[in-house]
Amino acid sequence: MSNRIQSAIRAAAEMGVGLLAACNRLRLPGTRNPFVVGVHEPMREELTLENLPVTGAIPPGLDGLYLKMGANPVRPAMRGHDWFLGDGMVHGLAIEGGRALWYRNRWIASRTAAAALKRPAAPGPRRGGNDTVNTNVVEIGGRIFAVVEAGSFPVELSRSLEEQRYNPFEGTLAGSFTGHPHRDPLTGETHAIAYDGRIWDRVRHVVVAPTGQVVRDMPIAVEHGPCIHDCAITARFIIVLDLPVTFSLRAVLAGYRFPFRWNTDHKARVGLLPRQGESADILWCEVASCFVFHVANAYDDADGRVILDVIAYETVFASAEGGLDTPGKLERWTLDVATRRVERRVLDSAAQEFPRIDERLFGQHHRYLYTVSVPEDGNTQLAGATQIYKHDLETGERQVHAFGADRIPGEFVFVPARPGASENEGWLVGLVIDTAHDTTEFVILDARSFADPPVARIRLGHRIPPGFHGNWFPTQGAGDTGAHDAPGDGPDGASRRSAVDPAIGPTIPPGV
């Protein structure tokens, strides 16, 4: 059968499924989705604010741009909506010379969002019918990209956030990408495990060179269409998390827009893909049934085992309606390469998410890990989740920074204090929502004095919804942030030096 005939049959089948899903969607509850009300209520306008008020003192050399992404539907959410869906919005805060220069928020100009906003869509090639991008904003090849998994090409952003274009890495990305690409600080390469909800028998290992072009796109055989939200790397392996959340045609036909559910027939396993290996070379290690959204880090230990730190959930999306079920816990998985056994050990049973480390150590041994508290009772308004945690994995100590009642933190990012700074020498930066006053602060903490009051706070007079993921982008040539320098000699880190040290450089060419 020719490819043209196969495509025609597939298109007809998808149209039929879409019509049935639309009919059944009308039967779903008409109540407002919990992720578009209260603390999650979307912003309704794009703002530009300048010379923002600062309490305390922004550390010298902390010059750059903080960017964060999330779903922010332009139109009111319809039946079957899910938190992971909705038009993307990027928030940016520029800091230089101890001043908060500006804040901007901008919708990603997908065709759907642009039509609702009555403005032109962003230029650039599209992949398929869904061009929504809403999950993360990262640096790849010296440029800034908004990214999403299982669908659209990435969107390149200018540092001002005033220009954007869809850019499949200059035409080198052939398929979907991921919301969690990871840069290897020792090679400068960016690694991703990419999947596509319409392709159930394979995922892909994608490698983007330091120059920003895809140099590897290798298929990996799987079953059932697994949802693989994150990945990890070590010096030897790419880690593939093939866990029992898979595509659910039943959920789609029932009218739900998020098409993944818990699948008891799908065996949980972790794949160890050699760096230059093929699909047949993967060492598959079975693990007790669970799911992982986010990886903190992984590395090869001195005994040849693979150490993997994750937030693990016993189940997610197990009901017909979906949902996160019980909260996740911080776990360390030890993978024995010889026996292919996985030992799971709970490091902290408190409900938490969004694990981060000093990214200069990604794929290498790390000591410190930072997470954000989430409600033990699973309440969607995040009530009571007012803390972030610092885990010392050497001593087992957990420190707590409490922001106070009604103050809800999002993901916090570690920024080194200077080039060659030790692992613990730097700043933690992130957004904190004041639900009592419907405002937001950008908060800077000293990682070495984690529980102490913030070093500085930048006030924003509006609420930024919790959203998903953010990162720090140092000013080009700023010598004091050291974002790509390996930790140097010090009490908390061994001397390491990155083989590739690109600064955040070119953005969108003028006129694009």
Nearest to 157 by CA among 166, 167, 145, 149: 145
Contacts of 309 by beta carbon, 8 Å cutoff, 6+ apart: 295, 296, 297, 298, 330, 331, 332, 333, 347, 355, 366, 369, 393
Joined together, the tokens standing for residue 483 give 């974002």
Listing DSSP states for 303-341 in one string gives TS-EEEEEEEES-SS-STT----SPPEEEEEEEETTTTE
User: Can you read off the two tokens belonging to residue 290?
Assistant: 């669970």
| Of residues 487, 473, 491, the one with CA closest to residue 91 | 473
| pLDDT reported for residue 504 | 28
- Give Cα 33 to chain centroid, integer Å: 22
Residues 33-45: tens digit of each pLDDT: 889 999 999 999 9
Contact 123, 73 (CB under 8 A): no
97: which DSSP letter?
T
Percent of the chain with pLDDT over 70: 90
CA end-to-end span of the chain = 41
CB 193 within 8 A of CB 205: yes
What is the reported pLDDT for 292? Answer: 98
d(CA 166, CA 160): 16
Residue 458, helix vs strand vs coil: strand
Give the model confidence (pLDDT) of 57-82 as tens digits. Answer: 999 999 999 999 999 999 988 887 88
Using CA atoms, how far residue 113 sits from 74, 84, 120, 445, in Å, is 6, 16, 10, 35
CA distance linking residue 132 with residue 148, whole number of Å = 8
363 CB-contact burial (10 Å; exposed 0-12 / middle 13-18 / buried 19+): buried
Q: Is the pLDDT of residue 444 over 80?
A: yes
pLDDT class for 370, splitting at 50, 70, 90?
very high
8 A C-beta contact, residue 237 and residue 275: yes
Confidence of residue 14 (pLDDT cuts 50, 70, 90): low
* pLDDT band, residue 486 (cuts 50/70/90): low
Confidence class of residue 479 from pLDDT cuts 50, 70 and 90? very low
Burial class (CB in 10 A: 0-12, 13-18, 19+), 173: buried
For residue 255, give the H/E element and its range.
none
What is the pLDDT at residue 12? 59
Provide the whole-model pTM. Answer: 0.91
- pLDDT tens, 272-287? 999 999 999 999 999 9
pLDDT at 497 over 50: no
Q: Do the bridges between strand 260-262 and strand 291-300 make them parallel or antiparallel, or are there none, so unpaired?
A: unpaired
**What pLDDT is stored for residue 321 in this prediction?**
87
Burial class (CB in 10 A: 0-12, 13-18, 19+), 323: middle
User: Residue 24 is which amino acid?
Assistant: N
Contact 352, 372 (CB under 8 A): yes
Task: Return the higher-pLDDT residue of 326 and 3.
Answer: 326
Q: How confident is the model at residue 325 (pLDDT cuts 50, 70, 90)?
A: confident
